Amino acid sequence: MLRKKLLIICGILMLVFCGQAFGAGKLVNGIDANFPPFAFIDKTGQPSGFDVEAMDWVAKEIGMEVSHQPIEWDGIITSLLTKKIDIIASGMSITEERAKKVNFSIPYWVIKQVMVAKKDSSLTIDDILNGKKAVGVQQGTSEAKWIKQEAAKKGWNLKLHYYSSAPLAVEDVLNGRIDAAAMDDAPAKDAMGKKAVKIVGTFGMHDEEFGYAVRKEDTELLKKVNAALEKLMGTPEWTALIEKYELNK
C-alpha cells in the first residue's frame, strides 16, 4: 500500500514539474538587453524592441503569457538548455553550430555583417582587416567566431577586443579605444542614428537569418510558435513593427 501511494505521489509530481514551463501558460523569453532595435531596455526600465513586441504577439496568438528576461548573450543558450528560460527571441542568427544544441523557428529576418567606424574616419575594410587595427565584436556572436577563424586562415593583421554588447563596442569606437566594430547591420544602422559613426562596409561574411530558438524536446512549442510567427509576418502588424523600428532604412 505504501509503495502504491509513493508511486501515485511521484506520478503527480512528475506531471506538475513537467508541466511547469508550458502547462501554466507562461513563457520566459531570454533577450540580449542591449541589442537595439531588436531587444533592449527602454527609458522606463521595461524590455522593448522588435523581437520583444513580436514575441508578445506570438505568445498571445498561442494562448500564453510571456515575460522577457535579460541574459548575458554568451551564456543565453546554456540558460535555455538549463530551463532558466523557455525561448530565445532576440536577434539570434541561425547557425549550424547552434542548431546542434537547439531547434530554430522559421527565419524571420535577414542580416548582413558590417564594420562600423567613426563618422569622419577614412578607414577602408582593407585598412581594418590588414592594418594592425583594433576591432571590437560582441562575445558569443557568429561574427566573433567567424572573424577569429578567418583572421587565422587569411593572416589578417588585426586585434580583436570582445564586448558584452555591440553598443559598448560602438562607445569604444567613439572614444578611440578601438578603430572599428563588427556587428549586424540593423544595430549598426541604429547606432548611426544616435552616434557619430558610420558603416564602412561588409567584410566578407555571408548573410545570416534570424530565428527563435527552443529546446530540442519542445517540438509542440516550436510548432505553435512557427504557425503564429508565420501568421504575424503576413499581417499589417508585422509591417508596422518593421516601420516602427526602422528595419528597412
Whether 98 and 213 map to the same domain: the answer is yes
Q: Considering the entire predicted model, what is its pTM?
A: 0.87
Residue 176 lies in a domain: yes
The pLDDT of residue 154 is 95
Q: Is residue 10 part of a domain?
A: no
Cα gap 53→72, rounded to integer Å: 20
- Looking at residue 91, the DSSP 8-state letter turns out to be S
Contact criterion met (CB below 8 Å) for 86 and 27: yes
Q: Which domain holds residue 155?
A: 112-200
With cell 527602454, the residue in question is 42
The pLDDT of residue 223: 98
What Å distances lie between residue 202 and 114, 135, 207, 247, CA to CA? 4, 14, 10, 17
Residues 38 and 153 in one domain: no
Residues 132 and 72 in one domain: no
Among candidate residues 93, 88, 90, 65, the one with its CA nearest the CA of residue 77: 88
Give pLDDT tens digits along the chain (249 positions): 444 443 444 443 343 333 344 546 899 999 999 999 999 999 999 999 999 999 999 999 999 999 999 999 999 999 999 999 999 999 999 999 999 999 999 999 999 999 999 999 999 999 999 999 999 999 999 999 999 999 999 999 999 999 999 999 999 999 999 999 999 999 999 999 999 999 999 999 999 999 999 999 999 999 999 999 999 999 999 999 999 999 988
Domain total for the chain?
A: 2
Confidence (pLDDT) at 24: 67
Residues 38 and 95 occupy one common structural domain? yes
- Beta strands 39-41 and 109-111 are unpaired
- Rounded Cα–Cα distance for residues 210 and 111 (Å): 8
Residues 105, 123 within the same domain: no
Q: What is the DSSP letter of 94?
A: -
pLDDT for the residue numbered 249: 80
**CATH code where residue 129 lies:** 3.40.190.10
Nearest Cα to Cα of residue 27 among 74, 60, 77, 66: 66
